[in-house]
């Protein structure tokens, strides 16, 4: 779930190519240059995004040809702008002007780099979008990821069926992507270096604008890890109850059992992990179906929430131009995304919406992106972005935190009663934790691996091997079968196949709780944080809007300060939110005799031997492992 499909390297914080002598120190000239750039960039970007939309929502060769053409025009424009900007010596200019210069343009690339990159990206995107898995006993019955395979991975409790889907999806997608990914890494690194970065991972990290970014993320992991370990041990016990000896009670978890195609979110394990099953269910999908919810109604409910905070309404073109439902007459990319067309008025969402609770919350997420895009639409083009990508991802999630509370679901008529006792609270917090605790190490590893690949630290002939080693050590998750170097399993997820970093999801999962705390305080709603619903609070909405309006015009700590009164990403509010669950999980695991942590060497193939593992096998402490991974 992302906010836009645009990833050309428009960012050039460090200038590598010395293409002009920086002699022009005239501020009026600089302002004219920026004014001219902005007026023209809007048009070039708009043409590119339109072509990108047309391709993604109708995957034909013809549309791909047009996309390639517009993409090359954009690259050419940004390269010229880059060369032009190097005439300026910005010493002494106002910060705001210098910041625009920093972000503007991208160094010209040698030869046909831009064309090859666009072709590679289009091809990886297409392979991902059209990937299918056919039934084991009916090869004519094939399903795409959304809704077919997603549905199986959400609900099936058949070990073999899940295994089949998991394996064949990777055969259809990530195995085919692998050779293109090699090209992608090479070209992205080349362009990053032309723009003065050490490699593409360095470029990604620098977008977060703090020297300590990587260490900050690892420090946060140390803080939240105890929560994850308890959740992992609890879920392992529950999976054991369903899958028996396939699960080792001291081992890592087989990835194909975790509720989606990748083990990214474990939310769909709720039905088999619910702590107090006798309490009223928190899943409002049945109520939505009973009330004949339509896709349109779901968007209206979300829009009404934003409106209740005094935030901006959607433009009328939104509903005319968005793709909110999977079309049946053509191939499309389905992954939910929110698009800014850079003309200040055209904003759209692409989503193959299902009528269920998960997608109701996803709509809030995407609408958060759209709200951000509308709030900063008045800024110069290079500032029309989140304070950082984690901020962009956090906006809708903050609203979803409120929207998911039983209090709120009751208020909008989807839950009969508001359960209000300790057991019900634990049910709710576990549901939230299966998403917002479980996903943290997943996202972290996705980018720890990519940073090391871009830097050349992991050689190409060990890409898949190292990925699974990192997963086993940090996430405690392993593949259901041994994997080879003909595969590249990390590219089986949209964000990797489509060139999005994922540390944004890690950081946003932390900062959304900081935002929620700030907004609940502003709304005058007392703790506990997990009960807070900011619905109808205009003061909370104003606080949020003031931050969103900044776009990327200031370094993100300024935006953080606007929102929370301090300048760091901190796990305090996240921890406070999950504290009651943490206490409960600890007690429950002790009661079950379950030790948090895992034997990093256990694999599902060896499950029959699990009872005879030597007593000396190693429970790795995660901190030592992360140290090795990053500094070895």
**Catalytic sites, residue numbers:** 366, 495
- Please state the closest distance from residue 204 (CB atom) to Zn ion, in A: 16
Q: What residue 210 binds from ligand NAG, Zn ion, none (CB within 5 to 8 A, per partner kind)?
A: none
Closer of 117 and 351 to Zn ion (Cβ): 351
Q: What residue 84 binds from Zn ion, ligand NAG, none (CB within 5 to 8 A, per partner kind)?
A: ligand NAG
Q: Return d(Cα 631, Cα 103) in angstroms, integer.
A: 30
431 binds Zn ion (CB under 5 A): no
Q: Return d(Cα 304, Cα 313) in angstroms, integer.
A: 9
Picking from 628, 526, 541, 18, the residue whose alpha carbon sits closest to that of residue 304 is 541
Q: Is there a contact between 166 and 481 (Cβ–Cβ < 8 Å)?
A: no
Q: For residue 338, give the H/E element and its range.
A: strand 337-340
Q: Return d(Cα 236, Cα 246) in angstroms, integer.
A: 11
369 is in an annotated binding site: yes
Cis peptide before 126 (omega within 30 of 0): no
208 is in an annotated binding site: yes
Closer of 54 and 455 to ligand NAG (Cβ): 54
Q: What residue 1 binds from ligand NAG, Zn ion, none (CB within 5 to 8 A, per partner kind)?
A: Zn ion
Closer of 491 and 509 to Zn ion (Cβ): 509
1 binds Zn ion (CB under 5 A): yes
User: Angle at which helices 174-194 and 113-130 pack, to 10 degrees?
Assistant: 150
Pairing outcome for strands 132-134 and 142-144: antiparallel
504 is in an annotated binding site: yes
* Span 93-122, contacts to Zn ion by CB under 5 A: none
Q: Is there a contact between 235 and 41 (Cβ–Cβ < 8 Å)?
A: no
Q: Return d(Cα 438, Cα 466) in angstroms, integer.
A: 21
Q: What residue 299 binds from ligand NAG, Zn ion, none (CB within 5 to 8 A, per partner kind)?
A: none
- Please state the closest distance from residue 497 (CB atom) to Zn ion, in A: 16
Stretch that binds Zn ion, among 128-136, 223-231, 306-314, 391-399 (CB under 5 A): 391-399
Closer of 29 and 527 to ligand NAG (Cβ): 29
How many degrees, rounded to 5, is the angle at CA 189 between CA 623 and CA 497?
75
**Lookup: tokens for 485:** 């170097």
Q: Return d(Cα 11, Cα 99) in angstroms, integer.
A: 11
* Span 393-422, contacts to Zn ion by CB under 5 A: 393
2 binds Zn ion (CB under 5 A): yes
Picking from 358, 352, 365, the residue whose alpha carbon sits closest to that of residue 392 is 365
Contacts of 362 (CB under 8 A, 6+ apart): 1, 336, 351
Q: Is there a contact between 88 and 22 (Cβ–Cβ < 8 Å)?
A: yes
Q: Enumerate the β-bridge partners of residue 359.
A: none
- Please state the closest distance from residue 413 (CB atom) to ligand NAG, in A: 10
Taking CB positions, which residue lies at the least distance from Zn ion?
Answer: 1
Cβ neighbours, 10 Å, residue 622 = 21
Q: What residue 2 binds from ligand NAG, Zn ion, none (CB within 5 to 8 A, per partner kind)?
A: Zn ion
Helix, strand, coil percent content, the chain, rounded in steps of 5? 60, 5, 35
82 is in an annotated binding site: no
473 is in an annotated binding site: no
- Please state the closest distance from residue 207 (CB atom) to ligand NAG, in A: 22
Closer of 50 and 559 to ligand NAG (Cβ): 50
Cβ neighbours, 10 Å, residue 420 = 10
Q: What residue 38 binds from ligand NAG, Zn ion, none (CB within 5 to 8 A, per partner kind)?
A: none
Binding footprint of Zn ion, residue count (CB under 5 A): 3
Picking from 492, 362, 512, 532, the residue whose alpha carbon sits closest to that of residue 436 is 512
> Which residues of this protein are in contact with ligand NAG, per CB under 6 A?
22, 25, 37, 58, 60, 62-63, 77, 80-81, 84, 89, 91, 291-292, 330
Q: For residue 276, how many C-alpha atoms fall within 13 Å in the half-sphere facing its CB?
A: 16
- Please state the closest distance from residue 58 (CB atom) to ligand NAG, in A: 4
Q: What residue 590 binds from Zn ion, ligand NAG, none (CB within 5 to 8 A, per partner kind)?
A: none
Closer of 83 and 142 to ligand NAG (Cβ): 83
- Please state the closest distance from residue 72 (CB atom) to Zn ion, in A: 27
- Please state the closest distance from residue 547 (CB atom) to Zn ion, in A: 17
**Binding site residue list:** 208, 365, 369, 393, 504
**Binding site residue list for chloride:** 208, 504
Chain residues binding Zn ion by CB under 5 A are 1-2, 393
**Binding site residue list for Zn(2+):** 365, 369, 393
């Amino acid at each position: 779930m992302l906010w836009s499909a645009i990833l050309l390297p428009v960012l050039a914080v460090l200038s590598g190519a010395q293409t002009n002598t920086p002699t022009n120190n005239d501020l009026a000239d600089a302002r004219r240059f920026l004014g001219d750039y902005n007026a023209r960039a809007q048009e070039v970007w708009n043409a590119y995004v339109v072509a990108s939309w047309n391709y993604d929502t109708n995957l034909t060769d013809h549309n791909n040809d047009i996309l390639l053409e517009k993409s090359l025009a954009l690259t050419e424009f940004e390269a010229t702008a880059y060369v032009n900007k190097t005439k300026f010596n910005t010493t002494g200019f106002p910060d705001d002007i210098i910041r625009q210069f920093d972000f503007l343009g991208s160094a010209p690339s040698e030869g046909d780099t831009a064309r090859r990159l666009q072709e590679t990206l289009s091809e990886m995107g297409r392979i991902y979008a059209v990937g299918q898995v056919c039934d084991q006993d009916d090869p004519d019955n094939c399903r795409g990821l959304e809704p077919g395979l997603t549905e199986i991975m959400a609900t099936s409790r058949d070990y073999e069926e899940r295994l089949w889907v998991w394996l064949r999806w990777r055969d259809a997608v990530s195995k085919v992507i692998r050779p293109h990914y090699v090209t992608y890494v090479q070209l992205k690194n080349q362009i990053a270096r032309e723009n003065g970065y050490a490699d593409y991972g360095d470029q990604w990290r620098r977008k977060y604008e703090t020297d300590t970014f990587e260490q900050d993320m690892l420090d946060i992991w140390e803080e939240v890890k105890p929560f994850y370990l308890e959740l992992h041990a609890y879920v392992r016990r529950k999976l054991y109850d369903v899958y028996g000896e396939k699960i080792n009670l001291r081992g890592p978890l087989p990835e194909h059992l975790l509720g989606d195609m990748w083990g990214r979110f474990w939310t769909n394990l709720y039905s088999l992990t619910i702590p107090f099953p006798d309490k009223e269910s928190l899943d409002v999908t049945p109520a939505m179906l009973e009330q004949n919810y339509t896709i349109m109604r779901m968007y209206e409910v979300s829009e009404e929430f934003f409106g209740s905070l005094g935030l901006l309404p959607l433009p009328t073109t939104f509903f005319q131009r968005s793709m909110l439902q999977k079309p049946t007459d053509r191939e499309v990319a389905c992954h939910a995304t929110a698009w800014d067309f850079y003309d200040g008025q055209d904003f759209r969402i692409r989503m193959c919406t299902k009528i269920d609770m998960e997608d109701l919350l996803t709509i809030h997420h995407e609408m958060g992106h759209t709200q951000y895009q509308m709030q900063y639409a008045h800024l110069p083009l290079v500032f029309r972005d989140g304070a950082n990508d984690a901020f962009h991802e956090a906006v809708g999630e903050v609203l979803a935190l409120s929207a998911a509370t039983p209090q709120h679901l009751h208020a909008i008529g989807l839950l009969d009663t508001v359960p209000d006792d300790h057991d019900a609270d634990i049910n709710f917090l576990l549901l939230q934790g299966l998403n917002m605790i479980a996903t943290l190490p997943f996202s972290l590893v996705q980018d720890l691996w990519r940073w090391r690949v871009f830097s050349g630290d992991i050689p190409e002939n060990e890409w898949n091997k190292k990925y699974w080693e990192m997963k086993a050590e940090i996430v405690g998750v392993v593949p259901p079968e041994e994997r080879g170097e003909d595969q590249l399993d990390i590219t089986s997820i949209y964000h990797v196949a489509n060139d999005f970093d994922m540390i944004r999801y890690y950081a946003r999962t932390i900062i959304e709780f900081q935002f929620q705390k700030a907004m609940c305080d502003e709304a005058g709603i007392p703790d506990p944080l997990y009960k807070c619903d900011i619905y109808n609070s205009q003061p909370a909405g104003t606080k949020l809007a003031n931050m969103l309006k900044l776009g990327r015009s200031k370094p993100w700590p300024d935006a953080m300060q606007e929102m929370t009164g301090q300048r760091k990403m901190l796990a305090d509010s996240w921890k406070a939110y999950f504290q009651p669950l943490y206490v409960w999980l600890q007690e429950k695991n002790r009661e079950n005799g379950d030790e948090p942590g895992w034997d990093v060497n256990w694999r599902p193939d060896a499950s029959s031997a699990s009872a005879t593992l030597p007593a000396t096998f190693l429970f790795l402490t995660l901190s030592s492992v992360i140290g090795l991974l990053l500094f070895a």
